[in-house]
Amino acid sequence: MAITASGLYVATMLDVFDATQLAYAYLADTMKIALFTDTITPNFGTDTAYGVAPYNANETSGGSWAAGGYTLATKTIAQDAIGYSVWDAADVSQATCTVTNAMAGLIYDDTLVGKNAVVLVDFVTAVSTTNGTLTITFTAPASGGIYNVKCTV
């Protein structure tokens, strides 16, 4: 069991484009990032949502970092100069947090009834803080943002 990569959740992406027509609004919906320890094993092909296995256990939170996560602010989506669709949000900085061994952040759509999983951000190294400031710095949009998808061949 371990987190070994960042990735998009296929089930959510398929539901956007197939007959389900999941009403997923990158900019309008409330997107949250919840923290998980390295005791989960993500499966980007079959995992579906926050609160559903494996994201129904091993969440780390405390102090001002609430269970369920932090709401992302200043979300953007744009096309870069070489044909990528880039999704990004403001970096996260939350004071007085107490979290232990956060290895990844699950970004999910809290507006949707199903709390559909969007992307997992692998921190590579576990992060802990005791009554300190937890900062998550996302890659700059020019370098790929939170995630990007190539839209050209």
- Quick check: helix, strand or coil at residue 16? helix
- Per-domain boundaries in the chain: 7-150
Percent of the chain clearing pLDDT 90 (strictly above): 76
- pLDDT value of residue 40: 95
Q: CA-to-CA distance for 33 and 84, rounded, in angstroms?
A: 23
| pLDDT tens readout for residues 113-133 | 999 999 999 999 999 999 999
Residue 114: closest CA among 22, 34, 44, 35: 22
Q: Look at residues 112, 80, 105, 89 and name the one whose alpha carbon lies nearest to residue 16.
A: 112
At residue 47, what are phi and psi to the nearest 5 degrees? -65, 145
